[in-house]
Structure 1
Amino acid sequence: MCELSREDAPVRWYKDGLEVEESEALVLERDGPRCRLVLPAAQPEDGGEFVCDAGDDSAFFTVTVTEPPVQFLALETTPSPLCVAPGEPVVLSCELSRAGAPVVWSHNGRPVQEGEGLELHAEGPRRVLCIQAAGPAHAGLYTCQSGAAPGAPSLSFTVQVAEPLLVKLVSDLTPLTVHEGDDATFRCEVSPPDADVTWLRNGAVVTPGPQVEMAQNGSSRILTLRGCQLGDAGTVTLRAGSTATSARLHVRETELLFLRRLQDVRAEEGQDVCLEVETGRVGAAGAVRWVRGGQPLPHDSRLSMAQDGHIHRLFIHGVILADQGTYGCESHHDRTLARLSVRRECPVLS
């Protein structure tokens, strides 16, 4: 403010040699002989040398605007100490009184470096330190300091990382023997009950599917293989942490027996013949074989075989005298025999 000797004397205001213009950030006031330049919300950049020029005389003012010290505002909800399990994420955050203020993070007195699962963020006035997956090395005292000057305001957080729980197998897998087509269920008890486990079969990781079910009941882990086939036999393993247990699965072939057996057949030379049997269950392709005189059937275009569920048939087209003999149908568990007799075709006399 300056005061003139005459109320109506004109004045000009200058800052750092340039005439100022009135705005929201700079207000010029006059009350009789008193002239004022007002900075309603002074910022550091508003500082400088101001001149009130009345023509024959001038008044000089040097203005210095200093920033207020950075302060930490109300604490956020992060508890201290912050206790986390191994592998869990950690987020430490605080809010400053000025958005652009620099901060320095330290861990147990050493500057924090970004990388290897640790990130630093600035979100307006908030400063955030993120640990993606906590490990034992991340435990300790974290400090966020406003600037690097000694004695600057700071805020500290204590992070505790729990010791990883030791996974134990309370019981081992038991070997199983099942019949072909039956279900096989393996069980194992683990501790703690929520421990992560992996099932393997013959060294390959098992995933759920139409024939594979995995379940948990408290501390029990259950693997069920539905409708076991001979090819499912092998080693089943449950792996938990650094421990594992294995057991063998044996699959016994179900007996393939003949419910309806071969019957003797008489035919005339040139006729088509069908030999037929019925099995107690549907066998896989090749589960039964046809023989003649105890030997595999010869390669002959007149011979053909077919399967329709439980029914197995042998067709002989246009039988000849050489076809007669004993025919058999065999499985690994049963055999049935029948005699084919062929009569010579009698010539018709005219």
Structure 2
Amino acid sequence: GDASTTCTVEVYERELLVLQGLEDLDIQEDQNAVFVCEVSVEDIPGEWYKNGQRIQPTSTVKIRQEGKKHFLLMCNVHAEDSGEVKFVARNVESAAYLDVEELPMNIVKPLQDKAALEKSRVILDCTVSNPRCSIRWYKGCNVILPSERFEISSEGCYRKLIIQQVALEDEGTYSVQVGEYTCSAKLTVEAQSVLMLRELRDVDVVAPDDACFECEVSDLVLRSPVWSLNGEPLQSGPRVRLEKTGTVHRLTLRQTGPDMSGE
């Protein structure tokens, strides 16, 4: 007759164990952090976490597996990368702590004294120890903020202050502050020589007509020129008008009278 038999096959998943757990790591900023976890079974998928958040591969974070070993590489770590790193596979896990020490904040190469010709471009520069250093620029006791003439630039550890069209009033002591550290340098500005192209001419008027004087110089003058009458400086007012158009300077005396006669 017909004969038959049956059996039950039960497949048990191999127990997974951690053979080599993660180890705590203390490193400085800009170094690479490497974590290795070895399990008892090959080609088991796993996941990495930092502070409870799953880690995804990026240009600076690499995840790799070789047989039983799982690797996590974090390149050029920062202080904010500190925290708990965990590897999880099936029902096993291993955790360690990453402590990233912040690089010291100080000035490696200080400012140097500079001398410049009026209206030229001046660069004051220094080098700091950490590319993430936050610095402040000062002229005397006043903080320098970016403007049309003042440009503040940062390239890695290199810091510079660029002054466009430097003026005589820009002369003085400049300093940078990095945390507790400061350094300073003196900027000296040499005035450009200005030639008189068209001099003043004598003017005769009948009171109370206006008297207009005009002269022209060889270059733009940033500082306002000083006009005087009989040795006394003149200020803008109802009877005195001071004008400047490029290199041409004008003085207009209004409502003239005998008291305005002179040089």
Where structure 2 has 5 or more consecutive residues not aligned to the other structure, the ranges are: 57-64
Residue 181 of structure 1 aligns to a residue in which SS? coil
1:70–1:230: structure 2 CA closer, same or farther, 3 Å change rule?
same
Measure how far apart 1:264 and its partner are.
Answer: 1.2
1:251–1:166: structure 2 CA closer, same or farther, 3 Å change rule?
same
Residue in structure 1 matched with residue 51 of structure 2 by the alignment: 118
Q: Deviations over 1:33-60 (max 9, x none)?
A: 4253766xx57xxxxxxxxxxxxxxxxx
Of residues 199, 204, 225, the one that matches 1:266 is 204
Structure 1 residue 325 and structure 2 residue 258: aligned? no
Q: Which moved more, 1:276-285 or 1:93-102?
A: 93-102
Of residues 228, 248, 252, the one that matches 1:311 is 248
The alignment's C-alpha RMSD in Å is: 5.8
Q: How many residues align?
A: 242
Residue in structure 1 matched with residue 118 of structure 2 by the alignment: 180
1:292–1:174: structure 2 CA closer, same or farther, 3 Å change rule?
same
State the alpha-carbon separation in 1 of the partners of residues 173 and 146 from structure 2: 16
Q: Deviations over 1:302-333 (max 9, x none)?
A: x644321111123457x76647612xxxxxxx
1:129–1:297: structure 2 CA closer, same or farther, 3 Å change rule?
closer
Of residues 222, 231, 236, the one that matches 2:174 is 236
Q: Which amino acid aligns with 1:227?
A: Q
Q: Which amino acid aligns with 1:86?
A: E
1:307–1:220: structure 2 CA closer, same or farther, 3 Å change rule?
closer
State the alpha-carbon separation in 2 of the partners of residues 205 and 300 from structure 1: 37
Residue in structure 2 matched with residue 212 of structure 1 by the alignment: 151
Q: Is the 8 A contact 2:211 2:253 kept in 1?
A: yes
TM-score (normalised: structure 2): 0.55
Q: Which amino acid aligns with 1:70?
A: L
State the alpha-carbon separation in 2 of the partners of residues 164 and 298 from structure 1: 58
State the alpha-carbon separation in 1 of the partners of residues 108 and 78 from structure 2: 29
Residue in structure 2 matched with residue 288 of structure 1 by the alignment: 225
State the alpha-carbon separation in 2 of the partners of residues 207 and 297 from structure 1: 33
Q: Is the 8 A contact 2:244 2:250 kept in 1?
A: yes
TM-score (normalised: structure 1): 0.44
State the alpha-carbon separation in 1 of the partners of residues 154 and 257 from structure 2: 64
More contact order relative to length (CA 8 Å, sep ≥ 6): 2
Q: Is the 8 A contact 2:136 2:178 kept in 1?
A: no
Residue in structure 2 matched with residue 56 of structure 1 by the alignment: none
Where structure 1 has 5 or more consecutive residues not aligned to the other structure, the ranges are: 1-6, 8-31, 44-65, 106-113, 149-153, 327-336, 338-350
Q: Is the 8 A contact 2:135 2:179 kept in 1?
A: no
Measure how far apart 1:228 and its partner are.
Answer: 1.7
